[in-house]
Chain A
């Protein structure tokens, strides 16, 4: 049973490293269309891997796991509302 856990950890490590390398290569080759969206979603994927594998969120009961999830959702709200409101106002820089 210890092996299975070890496998999860090492597997997660492999996934993290390869996504990181992939990300850098794709950017430097300049073939990504929507930079911000791409990078943010990569970061979210990596975070989920870390949370599940290394932070053992997978072992937590859902009543505990709801705490970080709520926080994540609220964060999306804060960011998206602030950004939309800003993009839509009439800037007159300078």
Chain B
């Protein structure tokens, strides 16, 4: 029975530390898969005259290797670390939305499995490179590409939910005294990272959707000349560039903290580093066209992007210099995590400098598509990010597992890694003429490729050694003290591993930087302000880094768990596979989804899920805002971006189309106007319902919500009538691009209306059955209806009037 409860714990957990571990373990699994693929194609590249792995199989290997490493290993590993550490670092008991956190994880797991399932379907996995360029992604691939696109959409959902969670957690869940100036760089890095995922993923998801539609329903977004290659390029790289910094920033943050700890100095120019990383975050959205320097777009535009690309290297220069300057006048102790980070900095310098070469359009003309670029980003991603993350793992491992590990072996591993990275990637700079993703090539490149393959095997050995070190530590490692490194930071003031509730008492960071854990009633009595100012007061002196944080009381922790996130994840897995496996599977997935949503609603109705709300917190400048509302707006903004990307697809295709008869030739503008008015009226009803609810008149509120339901239904009815008319005239989703856009965009909008209706019906049912939904939840649904309406204000003129 013990095993069952063990399984159940991991399937239903909503505890941030559990989910962090799930994330990390899963990501390491994907790392191993991607690594095996790399060994396979490096072997082929060592023997270009043999046929070990050629043609589509070779292409599948490089494609899935790239996708897995970036989206399913590196980023989720960082998210896992963040999940575990950020609440500990900022003094929260969990993330802001624990259940959504679990949902992020299960969507992530499902998406990765869907991607890998590609190997087992006809035509094999996606095989057009991790960039999935159009139109070959539609024209020349098998079902695996559909699965890859589904996987991308699922992971987009996962990271969007995750972004909302992390933004709100960091903004609103910090312990008193944990001001922005005090939070560790790792937390900062994660914050910037999620802020990039936030707007970068929606365009990618839109691209993936277009890919699925093209492959399954015969649309031509990615195959037509109007959309096609360039449309995909923009959507993909608008995501693709921020994504590389998504990977970098958490690692860089961790590296900064580690250097600071082992140099026994505060991070040099800390404030400037934070500002610089923020600038890099903003700029990261403005450089994507440096991946398109030779597509033949306007030279002026490209010059602007060339300059922004050069500009973005400056914040990273500052960060690198700051890491180095932190050592100045330090008392540097050579512990394993530090050495990993130092190696990471060295590789980062090389990778970053070569990026500057590529920022020059003329130079990039030669580099584009060659092994030089491969070397550039592997120096950063393996040399800097991966080594930095390994340093982070070795740094926080004792905290997470409560065990020490064999540091000597870890140092030997680093030596292997250093040699491996150099042997693998340095020759690739010299292969600056060799095209990427060639499985066979002229004789002259043989030697360098062989060295590179040799290096890859050295890396393999290093990773196996790493696994041994970790397992050895788990089995035989000595128990770790709370703070084995004499490190600063709140997480080191609690036991290793931390208890389920993280700490007893409420942590308060005092003005002198010391941390005290005060029972909540005491805190109330003394006052938070007084505790923060109490540095000299012996009664409140920190009682040392002890188990229980010295608070002297035991915190009563309310375990929370839920099975619904896992069910939702499972349903998406089944539905995703169903797209390829056929209708029965798809329907099964839908059924599971329905069960999951019902269960979620029932849980909510019975108010079964409780999370501890912190009574004391530091949340400037977000004080006075509700965490749900901040979360909702963060989510809505990514929805804005999702629809915005769809609208930009429309504008893009339209501006490249030679003929585009005005919309009113096919769609009656008066019917459209009628529907517009219906939708506006529904939202008016809903707002009035909110007003009544605000004044406690719940029945009237429910009545007005019924009005919204009726108008929403009417809207859908009119829409259905219009669609039916068009079908009768012989138009369909695979008619010309104008109709494709019409059906897809209004279809997605209609789906949003349906989702809104379901939520509103639930809300009415809840009121009528005598429960009172919180005012915030009513408002949040109103915000959702607002976005549905805003989207329509764009769709209506786009399709009916122009």
A residues adjacent to B (C-beta < 8 A): 2, 5-6, 9-10, 12-13, 16-17, 20-21, 23-24, 27-28, 35-36, 39-40, 42-43, 46-47, 50-51, 53-56, 60-61, 63-65, 67-68, 70-72, 74-75, 77-79, 81-91, 93-94
Q: Contact: A20 with B683, CB < 8 Å?
A: no
Closest residue of chain B to A84 (Cβ to Cβ) is B301
Q: Contact: B797 with A56, CB < 8 Å?
A: no
Q: State the CA gap A36–B790 with chains docked (Å).
A: 17
From residue A26, how far is it (CB to closest CB) to chain B in Å? 9
Q: With a 10 A CB-CB cut-off, give which of A5, A68, A85 has the most chain B CB atoms.
A: A85
Tell me the residues in window 282-329 of chain B with beta carbons closer than 8 Å to chain A beta carbons: 285-286, 289, 292, 295-298, 300-302
Q: Return chain B residues, CB-CB under 8 Å to A93.
A: 225-226, 656, 658
Knowing A16-B680, A78-B645, say if A63 contacts B289 (CB, 8 Å). no
Q: State the CA gap A53–B690 with chains docked (Å).
A: 12
Chain B count of residues within 8 A CB distance of the other chain: 74
Chain B 660-678 against A: per-residue CB contact (8 Å), 1 yes, 0 no?
A: 0000100001101100110
Q: Return chain A residues, CB-CB under 8 Å to B199.
A: 70-71, 74
Chain B 384-407 against A: per-residue CB contact (8 Å), 1 yes, 0 no?
A: 000000000000000000000000
Closest residue of chain B to A56 (Cβ to Cβ) is B779
Q: Contact: A63 with B790, CB < 8 Å?
A: no
Q: State the CA gap A17–B648 with chains docked (Å).
A: 25
From residue A62, how far is it (CB to closest CB) to chain B in Å? 8
B655 within 8 Å of A by Cβ?
yes
Q: Which of A46, A61, A94 contacts B621 (CB 8 A)?
A: A61
The DSSP consensus for interface residues of chain A is helix
Q: Contact: B301 with A88, CB < 8 Å?
A: yes
Q: Return chain A residues, CB-CB under 8 Å to B684.
A: 9-10, 12-13, 54
Q: A64-B629, A87-B298 are in contact. List 12 more A-B contacts (CB 8 A).
A: A6-B691, A9-B684, A20-B673, A24-B669, A46-B793, A53-B687, A54-B785, A55-B783, A61-B624, A74-B199, A85-B302, A89-B295
Q: State the CA gap A87–B652 with chains docked (Å).
A: 9
Closest residue of chain B to A9 (Cβ to Cβ) is B687
Knowing A17-B680, A77-B286, say if A84 contacts B622 (CB, 8 Å). no
B203 within 8 Å of A by Cβ?
yes
Q: Return chain B residues, CB-CB under 8 Å to A55.
A: 636, 782-783, 786-787
Q: Contact: B301 with A71, CB < 8 Å?
A: no
Chain B 62-75 against A: per-residue CB contact (8 Å), 1 yes, 0 no?
A: 00000000000000
Q: Contact: B656 with A91, CB < 8 Å?
A: yes
Q: Which of A39, A50, A72, A87 contacts B802 (CB 8 A)?
A: A39
B798 within 8 Å of A by Cβ?
yes
B796 within 8 Å of A by Cβ?
yes
Q: State the CA gap A85–B796 with chains docked (Å).
A: 26
B609 within 8 Å of A by Cβ?
no
B644 within 8 Å of A by Cβ?
yes
Q: State the CA gap A16–B678 with chains docked (Å).
A: 11
The DSSP consensus for interface residues of chain B is helix
Q: Contact: A39 with B801, CB < 8 Å?
A: yes
Tell me the residues in window 21-64 of chain B with beta carbons closer than 8 Å to chain A beta carbons: none
List 15 A-B pairs, Cβ < 8 Å.
A24-B800, A27-B669, A47-B793, A50-B789, A53-B687, A60-B625, A63-B621, A64-B630, A75-B641, A82-B652, A83-B652, A86-B230, A87-B298, A91-B225, A94-B225
From residue A35, how far is it (CB to closest CB) to chain B in Å? 5
Q: Contact: B234 with A54, CB < 8 Å?
A: no
B681 within 8 Å of A by Cβ?
yes
B637 within 8 Å of A by Cβ?
yes
Q: Return chain A residues, CB-CB under 8 Å to B203.
A: 78
Q: Contact: A50 with B637, CB < 8 Å?
A: no
Knowing A61-B622, A82-B234, A89-B295, say if A54 contacts B686 (CB, 8 Å). yes
Q: With a 10 A CB-CB cut-off, give which of B285, B798, B801 has the most chain A CB atoms.
A: B801
From residue A78, how far is it (CB to closest CB) to chain B in Å? 6
Q: With a 10 A CB-CB cut-off, give which of A16, A23, A55 has the most chain B CB atoms.
A: A55
Knowing A64-B629, A77-B285, say if A56 contacts B782 (CB, 8 Å). yes
Knowing A20-B677, A43-B794, say if A28 contacts B669 (CB, 8 Å). yes
From residue A14, how far is it (CB to closest CB) to chain B in Å? 10
Q: Contact: B783 with A56, CB < 8 Å?
A: yes
Q: Contact: A6 with B680, CB < 8 Å?
A: no
B701 within 8 Å of A by Cβ?
no
Q: Contact: A68 with B677, CB < 8 Å?
A: no
Closest residue of chain A to B784 (Cβ to Cβ) is A55
Q: Contact: A24 with B801, CB < 8 Å?
A: yes
Q: Return chain B residues, CB-CB under 8 Å to A84.
A: 298, 301
Knowing A43-B794, A74-B641, say if A13 contacts B680 (CB, 8 Å). yes
Q: Which of B230, B633, B801 contacts A64 (CB 8 A)?
A: B633
Q: Contact: A67 with B633, CB < 8 Å?
A: yes
Report, nearest first, the 3 A-B pairs whose CB atoms are least far apart. Answer: A88-B298, A55-B786, A71-B637
Q: Contact: B656 with A86, CB < 8 Å?
A: yes
B526 within 8 Å of A by Cβ?
no
Q: State the CA gap A93–B656 with chains docked (Å).
A: 9
From residue A42, how far is it (CB to closest CB) to chain B in Å? 7
Q: Which of B298, B673, B798, B802 contacts A89 (CB 8 A)?
A: B298
Q: State the CA gap A85–B651 with chains docked (Å).
A: 13
From residue B102, how far is it (CB to closest CB) to chain A in Å? 24
Q: Contact: B644 with A79, CB < 8 Å?
A: yes
Q: Contact: A51 with B691, CB < 8 Å?
A: no
Q: Contact: A63 with B656, CB < 8 Å?
A: no
Q: Return chain A residues, CB-CB under 8 Å to B637.
A: 67-68, 70-71
Q: Return chain A residues, CB-CB under 8 Å to B670.
A: 24
Q: Return chain B residues, CB-CB under 8 Å to A86.
A: 230, 297, 652, 655-656
Q: Contact: B238 with A71, CB < 8 Å?
A: no
Q: Return chain B residues, CB-CB under 8 Å to A85.
A: 230, 234, 289, 292, 297-298, 301-302
Tell me the residues in window 755-802 of chain B with beta carbons closer than 8 Å to chain A beta carbons: 779, 782-783, 785-787, 789-790, 793-794, 796-798, 800-802
From residue A18, how far is it (CB to closest CB) to chain B in Å? 11
Q: Return chain A residues, CB-CB under 8 Å to B647.
A: 79
Q: Contact: A89 with B297, CB < 8 Å?
A: yes
Q: State the CA gap A39–B800 with chains docked (Å).
A: 11
Q: Contact: A39 with B622, CB < 8 Å?
A: no
Q: Return chain A residues, CB-CB under 8 Å to B779.
A: 56
B638 within 8 Å of A by Cβ?
yes
Q: State the CA gap A43–B640 with chains docked (Å).
A: 14
Q: Contact: B633 with A20, CB < 8 Å?
A: no
Q: Contact: B790 with A2, CB < 8 Å?
A: no
Closest residue of chain A to B203 (Cβ to Cβ) is A78
B695 within 8 Å of A by Cβ?
yes
B356 within 8 Å of A by Cβ?
no
Closest residue of chain B to A90 (Cβ to Cβ) is B296
Chain B 683-702 against A: per-residue CB contact (8 Å), 1 yes, 0 no?
A: 11011100100110000000
Q: With a 10 A CB-CB cut-off, give which of B230, B633, B797 has the most chain A CB atoms.
A: B797
From residue A29, how far is it (CB to closest CB) to chain B in Å? 12
Q: Return chain A residues, CB-CB under 8 Å to B681.
A: 13
B165 within 8 Å of A by Cβ?
no
Q: Return chain A residues, CB-CB under 8 Å to B802.
A: 27, 35-36, 39
Q: State the CA gap A37–B688 with chains docked (Å).
A: 33
Q: Return chain B residues, CB-CB under 8 Å to A13.
A: 680-681, 684
B634 within 8 Å of A by Cβ?
yes
Q: State the CA gap A47–B694 with chains docked (Å).
A: 24
Knowing A43-B793, A79-B648, say if A68 contacts B640 (CB, 8 Å). yes
Closest residue of chain A to B300 (Cβ to Cβ) is A88
Q: State the CA gap A71–B640 with chains docked (Å).
A: 7
Closest residue of chain A to B645 (Cβ to Cβ) is A78
Knowing A2-B695, A5-B691, say if A78 contacts B295 (CB, 8 Å). no
Q: With a 10 A CB-CB cut-off, give which of A35, A51, A67 has the most chain B CB atoms.
A: A67
